[in-house]
Amino acid sequence: MSSNNGCIKFHLNIEDPNIVFPDYFKKYINGKYHNVYQAELIQPSCPFWRP
């Protein structure tokens, strides 16, 4: 996980603890550079599920 995860969530105003940002990068699109943030949704385990 990126050490900037908390900073990215703060700037995008995301409060959900199940969303993490493991990576970000710049991408050249239509003649301009854009910041692209890769996000992952972490699903908590179901308390009623039994293996």
Sequence ranges of the domains in the chain: 5-41
Helices (H), ranges, the chain: 5-11
* Integer CA distances (angstroms), 39 to 46, 47, 50, in order: 22, 25, 29
| 5 class by beta-carbon count within 10 Å (0-12 exposed, 13-18 middle, 19+ buried) | middle
Query: What's the pLDDT score for residue 43?
Result: 84
pLDDT at 32: 97
pLDDT, tens digit, 9 for 90 and up, residues 1-51: 456 888 888 888 999 989 999 888 999 999 999 999 999 998 877 778 776
Per-residue model confidence (pLDDT) at position 44? 78
pLDDT of residue 5: 84
